[in-house]
Amino acid sequence: MNLTPLVQSFVLHFGEMGSRWGINRTVGQIYALLYLSPKPMNAEDIADALAFSRSNVSMGLKELDGWRLIRHQHLPDDRRDYYSTPDDIWEIIRTLVEERRKREIEPTLSLLRDELLTTPSSSDEQFAQAKMQEMHDVIEMLTKWYLDMQKMDTQRLVNLLKLGGKVYKLYEMKDKLKLVAGYSVKTKKEGVT
């Protein structure tokens, strides 16, 4: 199987980006190939397309399966396993974020909770604990926000994300109105018009 220049460019880039996201390059490239593939692929097809060994593909598929990012399928009259990605990009993103939360955020919150329950033995430990409390509170707030976002249907989530910059502009406008209102009240008290 020959990859078109367009597909090859995306696959190679996704592999490089994958290494920055904490997955190895091979796994990133396998996922990119499956994501762009119009039909499910078996391990041999993946190995041929990417010029990877069958064992590397097998390990990569196992890792992607552990992250719940791929689907196994069987085709009629074929004993091989075929793989694909979910069709909905939002399902992929939700799964990826949820898996990262379970693997990275929850252990950090558990450690912080445990450390915050200990009695500090020095002023340095009190300072450290205060910093840990600050970190805990921010992570906890973001986690609660994330859980609320996970409950939203996709269209509402997309609409909310599109509002992001507009909401910020409303806050800026509110601050400007406070300044103008404050100036107006101050000038009236001073008798200035």
Q: What is the per-residue DSSP string for 121-134?
A: SSHHHHHHHHHHHH
Mean of pLDDT over the chain: 90
**pTM of this structure:** 0.76
pLDDT, one tens digit per residue, over 36-56 is 999 999 999 999 999 999 999
pLDDT tops 60 at residue 186: no
The one-character DSSP state at 102 is I
CATH level 3 topology of 5-84: Arc Repressor Mutant, subunit A (1.10.10)
Instruction: Among 21-25, 68-72, 134-138, 183-187, name the one with the lowest average pLDDT.
Output: 183-187
With H, G, I as helix, E, B as strand and everything else as coil, classify residue 76: coil
pLDDT, one tens digit per residue, over 147-167 is 998 889 999 988 888 887 787
Indicate the pairing of strand 41-42 with strand 71-73: unpaired
Higher pLDDT among residues 187 and 80, named by residue: 80
